[in-house]
């Protein structure tokens, strides 16, 4: 079992890494805006600043629920909230189509955290774009989750797969694999499991989480 303090530190590193690009773009844009005198160019810079600000806000909202305690929610999280977070990331990517098949209006918080993190892995695997199918259903006292990423090229780190199924050695844990390890530990703590299958042209990840 990975030390919880080490895992928390790596998750913080991952969050900082993912926010560095849009926040850096904001900083650079503000410097350009201060120096630029041409009105047309200033307008374009403002547009870029707005895009970077939106991307930063979208990622912060996503990570708040995917990595954090998300204290603003109860035991159940509205499906619409999770969908809005994933759709925002997909929209910022521009080359991925998200297709949803989730039953019910709300899911247990651990299930939503699992759904978001598996969705993030799927988005990152679609380096040339594609489709992201997201399904979840709460029935018979457990939540079943399926994420399928399909596209012309799937870039999936085998170490992330090992982290998801719990076979990654602690010495190989990094900020890239920490979210997958967190989801494995979350599922294990609930008596559930996470599975991943990489087939030609598609990455399929699933989780079964008993209700607590």
pLDDT at position 83: 95
pLDDT at position 92: 74
pLDDT at position 187: 96
Chain-centroid distance of CA 23 in Å reads 18
Global pTM reads 0.90
In 73-139, which ranges are E strands? 76-78, 96-102, 106-108, 130-139
Q: Is-contact 2 184, C-beta < 8 A?
A: no
Confidence tier at 18 by pLDDT (50, 70, 90): confident
Does the pLDDT at position 45 exceed 70? Answer: yes
- For residue range 148-183, list pLDDT tens digits in order: 999 999 999 999 999 999 999 988 999 999 999 999
Segments making up each domain of the chain, as ranges:
4-210
- Alpha-carbon distances, residue 15 vs 18, 115, 189 (angstroms): 5, 17, 23
- For residue range 116-145, list pLDDT tens digits in order: 999 999 999 999 999 999 999 988 889 999
Which pair of tokens denotes residue 28? 């650079």
pLDDT at position 19: 86
Does the pLDDT at position 55 exceed 90? Answer: no
Furthest CA-CA distance within the chain: 64
pLDDT at position 209: 96
Sequence-distant (≥ 6) Cβ neighbours of residue 75 within 8 angstroms: 108, 109
Record: fold of 4-210: Heat Shock Protein 90 (3.30.565)
Does the pLDDT at position 204 exceed 80? Answer: yes
pLDDT at position 2: 64
pLDDT at position 212: 67
- For residue range 183-199, list pLDDT tens digits in order: 999 999 999 999 999 98
Closest alpha carbon to 98 in 119, 77, 78, 128:
119
- For residue range 56-100, list pLDDT tens digits in order: 898 899 999 999 876 667 789 999 999 999 999 898 777 999 999
């Amino acid at each position: 079992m990975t030390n919880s303090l080490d895992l928390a530190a790596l998750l913080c590193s991952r969050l900082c890494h993912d926010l560095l690009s849009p926040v850096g773009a904001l900083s650079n844009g503000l410097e350009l805006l201060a120096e630029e005198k041409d009105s047309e160019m200033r307008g374009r810079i403002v547009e870029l600043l707005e895009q970077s600000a939106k991307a930063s806000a979208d990622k912060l909202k996503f990570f708040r629920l995917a990595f954090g305690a998300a204290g603003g929610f109860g035991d159940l999280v509205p499906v619409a909230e999770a969908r809005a977070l994933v759709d925002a990331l997909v929209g910022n990517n521009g080359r991925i189509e998200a297709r949803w098949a989730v039953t019910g209006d709300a899911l247990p918080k651990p299930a939503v955290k699992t759904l978001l993190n598996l969705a993030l892995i799927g988005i990152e695997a679609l380096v040339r774009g594609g489709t992201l199918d997201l399904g979840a259903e709460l029935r018979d006292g457990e939540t079943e989750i399926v994420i399928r990423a399909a596209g012309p090229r799937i870039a999936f780190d085998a170490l992330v797969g090992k982290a998801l199924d719990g076979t990654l050695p602690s010495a190989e844990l990094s900020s890239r694999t920490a979210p997958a390890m967190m989801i494995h530990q979350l599922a294990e703590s609930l008596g559930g499991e996470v599975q991943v299958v990489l087939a030609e042209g598609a990455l399929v990840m699933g989780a079964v989480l008993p209700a607590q």
